[in-house]
Amino acid sequence: MKFQPVKGTRDFYPEQMAVRNYIVNGWKAASVRSGFVEYDGPIFEYLAMYQAKSGQEIAQQLFSLTDRGGRELAIRPEITPTLARMVNEKINSLPRPIKWFSVPRLCRAENTQKGRLREFFQWNIDVIGVDDVIADADVIFTSIDYLRSTGLTAGDIQAKISSRKLLAAVLVELGISGESLDAIYVLLDKKTKLPAETFDAMLLEKIGDGGVVEKIKKLMEITAVEQIADIVRPGPAVQQGLDEVSRLFVILSNMGIDNYCRFDMSIVRGLAYYTGVVFEVHDVTGRLRAICGGGRYDNLLKDFGGPAISATGMGMGDCVLEILLEEKGLLKERIAANKIDYFVACADERLFGRAVETACKLRTLGRIAEFAYKPGNLAKQLKQADSMKCRFCVIIGRELEECGKLIVKNMADGSQSQISMEEFFRGND
């Protein structure tokens, strides 16, 4: 019998693993730079947890199972509900603000496509306990700070930022009832993924008034906060939303990332729990799906049985990011292969014990050292050292017996020198 990897999953051979590690290490370093601390949770949770709050789309993509005790479970499609559950459990003992990050492996039974798989890694950063756009700005900064560190410029990527609070206020001013907002968000989030006529027809079916539909479509094209006044006369709720967004942009400018950020009313986000600032980072050509997305979710902790505490955060997958870094030529030279410092070759079988001893002593001293399992054929061993891209090859042979010396060959330029065992180890101590 022969098996293939399951659709939407990946095998990580060492070469792919190096890419994954490069990405994950960068995520972790950026989190730490911004003061986030790491957490993790279980890989499966109760199914109901995701059905309750993640929203329609994710609920339809769950990998669910019934365990032997009859419990309905699901593999995590996101970690935000777990985070809310964990924070609620210890809410009184956690110092605030809570700034946590995680890099979970997630599963979603999606229709696989470029940048969308069924199993992926997702960097999450979240700030809990801060009811102010300063926390949203900190999350956006940390996301951009990471992306900038990979070599992506403001000419490659842009954070598109909006606010569900502002959108809700405008929609209510346009006569839409508060109860139908959630369903409209889901539809607006799909705008770019649906053919224009289908989107128009669905929106008309939901709203029922062609004039309002036209205004909403105009609203979705707004890229400067001032343009909102062309659509509705700002009442107090709209004005509050506008003030908040304006203040956010002032902070983003203080943070030095305003060139990476722009206002874009078409960003709504698919998940049900967002309540305030929402954002997504996209490649500027718009060919790829979002690199990351997030926003404020002020009701989730309360909805999960905890106190009313505000929260904001974002998730960034590894798939679109890897495609973009590859396309921009930003992966190859940045992935430092674990270069071996020393390859210990043994030209004489009788000295094999000394070769093993030398290699292992180098390892104890913190050097990356490898040795040939089969001594004797020096040419073969030098070839192995070369293919492993070792920096130096240490040759144990006749010289060791005759005068206690090793040969050290520089693999880059081919030069070689003799050195006593003691001196060699002193140099590596």
| Interaction site with ligand HAM (CB under 6 A) | 78, 80, 108, 110, 116-117, 120, 122, 124, 126, 271, 290-294, 313-317, 319-320
Residue with Cβ nearer ligand HAM (301 or 351): 301
Q: Count CB neighbours of 303 within 10 A.
A: 15
CB of 79 to ligand HAM, least distance (A): 7
Residue with Cβ nearer ligand HAM (282 or 405): 282
Triad 34, 37, 39: Cα angle to 5°: 140
Position of minimal CB gap to ligand HAM: 317
CB of 273 to ligand HAM, least distance (A): 8
Residue with Cβ nearer ligand HAM (120 or 342): 120
Cis-peptide into 97, omega within 30 deg? yes
Residue with Cβ nearer ligand HAM (108 or 405): 108
Q: Find all residues with CB under 8 Å of 422, minimum gap 6, and list them.
A: none
Q: Count CB neighbours of 225 within 10 A.
A: 18
Distances (CA, A) of 45 to 70, 83, 165: 14, 12, 30
CB of 97 to ligand HAM, least distance (A): 14
Residue with Cβ nearer ligand HAM (271 or 301): 271
Backbone angles phi, psi at 232, to 5 degrees: -135, 155
Nearest to 360 by CA among 352, 369, 351: 369
Sign of CA dihedral 89, 94, 96, 102: negative
**207-214 long-range Cβ contacts below 8 angstroms, 24+ apart:** 207/176, 209/175, 212/174, 212/175, 212/176
Residue with Cβ nearer ligand HAM (293 or 375): 293
Residue with Cβ nearer ligand HAM (217 or 262): 262
CB of 303 to ligand HAM, least distance (A): 14
Q: For residue 409, give both structure tokens.
A: 């060959």
CB of 147 to ligand HAM, least distance (A): 12
CB of 408 to ligand HAM, least distance (A): 47
Residue with Cβ nearer ligand HAM (324 or 411): 324
CB of 4 to ligand HAM, least distance (A): 19
CB of 271 to ligand HAM, least distance (A): 6
CB of 291 to ligand HAM, least distance (A): 6
Distances (CA, A) of 121 to 104, 187, 251, 287: 6, 27, 30, 21
Nearest to 351 by CA among 378, 382, 383: 378
Distances (CA, A) of 272 to 50, 55, 135, 268: 11, 5, 20, 10
CB of 167 to ligand HAM, least distance (A): 17
Residue with Cβ nearer ligand HAM (319 or 385): 319
Residue with Cβ nearer ligand HAM (234 or 293): 293
Burial of 388 by CB count in 10 Å (0-12 exposed, 13-18 middle, 19+ buried)?
Answer: middle
Q: Which run of H or E residues covers position 259?
A: none
- Cα 217 to Cα 234: distance, rounded to the nearest angstrom: 18
Residue with Cβ nearer ligand HAM (169 or 316): 316
- Cα 20 to Cα 91: distance, rounded to the nearest angstrom: 33
Q: Count CB neighbours of 341 within 10 A.
A: 17
CB of 296 to ligand HAM, least distance (A): 8
Q: Find all residues with CB under 8 Å of 61, minimum gap 6, and list them.
A: 77, 108, 109, 110
If you count them, how many residues does the chain have?
429
